[in-house]
């Protein structure tokens, strides 16, 4: 248990260091992402011991399906950001509005991926603490995506506004 707590503390500190500069402003999506990642870590902490418990139960099978889909969406999103977004540095600061690949269907594949990841981890052990952590994580992911939409509108203008009417936020073909 001490190792598990130590690993959690180190990872939580790494997340804090990564987002520390963005914690000063509620108007950046990074502020909300900090809390999303911290609650995702808590969710993982609560459920890691039951990761393969009753491996072929319906909730474990559904969990693995969601985790695989989450990974596919994340990889597709990162690929498109790097290939089509012409990032300044890294992958997040794109200079071009991406409408190809997975971005043709959803505006926020990385948020979709993280939401599916959170639900997949929750299904490992649906209990009160993991349920609360999952709810907090998804709430902050939704808040981060809303702030990022405002950032993208400011950055890409009318083109992004039109794009929002052509695509869905998280799940293609729904609403």
Q: What is the pLDDT of residue 2?
A: 87
Note whether residue 7 is domain-resident. no
CA distances from 170 to 11, 39, 164 (A): 27, 20, 11
Note whether residue 25 is domain-resident. no
Give the number of other Cβ atoms within 10 Å of residue 158's Cβ: 8
Host domain of residue 87: 41-47+55-175
Cβ neighbours for 19, distance < 8 A, ≥ 6 positions apart? 30, 31, 33, 34, 37
Q: What is the pLDDT of residue 175?
A: 55
Q: What is the pLDDT of residue 51?
A: 83
Angle between helix axes 128-156 and 109-122 (nearest 10 degrees) is: 180
Local confidence pLDDT in tens for the 175 residues of the chain: 788 888 889 989 999 998 898 888 888 898 999 999 999 999 999 999 888 888 888 999 999 999 999 999 999 999 999 888 877 776 677 888 999 999 999 999 999 999 999 999 999 999 999 999 999 999 999 999 999 999 999 999 999 999 999 999 998 877 5
Q: pTM of the prediction?
A: 0.91
Note whether residue 15 is domain-resident. no
Q: For the chain, how many structural domains are there in total? A: 1
Q: What is the pLDDT of residue 164?
A: 93
Q: Which of 62, 76, 65 is nearest to 110 (CA)?
A: 76
CATH code, 90: 1.20.120.1630
Q: Provide the β-strand partners of residue 168.
A: 106
Note whether residue 90 is domain-resident. yes
Q: What is the pLDDT of residue 90?
A: 64
Note whether residue 27 is domain-resident. no
Note whether residue 6 is domain-resident. no
Note whether residue 74 is domain-resident. yes
Q: What is the pLDDT of residue 25?
A: 86
């Amino acid at each position: 248990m001490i190792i598990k707590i130590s690993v959690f503390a180190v990872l939580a500190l790494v997340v804090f260091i990564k987002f520390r500069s963005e914690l000063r402003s509620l108007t950046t999506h990074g502020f909300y992402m900090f809390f999303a990642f911290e609650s995702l870590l808590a969710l993982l902490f609560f459920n890691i011991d039951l990761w393969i418990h009753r491996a072929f139960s319906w909730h474990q099978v559904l969990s693995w399906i969601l985790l695989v889909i989450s990974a596919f969406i994340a990889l597709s999103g990162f690929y498109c950001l790097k290939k089509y977004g012409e990032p300044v540095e890294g992958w997040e600061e794109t200079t071009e509005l991406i409408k190809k690949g997975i971005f043709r269907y959803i505006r926020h594949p990385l948020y979709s991926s993280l939401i599916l990841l959170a639900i997949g981890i929750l299904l490992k052990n649906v209990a009160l603490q993991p349920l609360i952590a999952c709810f907090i994580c998804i709430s902050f992911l939704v808040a981060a995506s809303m702030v990022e939409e405002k950032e993208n509108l400011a950055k890409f203008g009318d083109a992004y506004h039109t794009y929002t009417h052509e695509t869905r936020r998280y799940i293609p073909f729904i609403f």
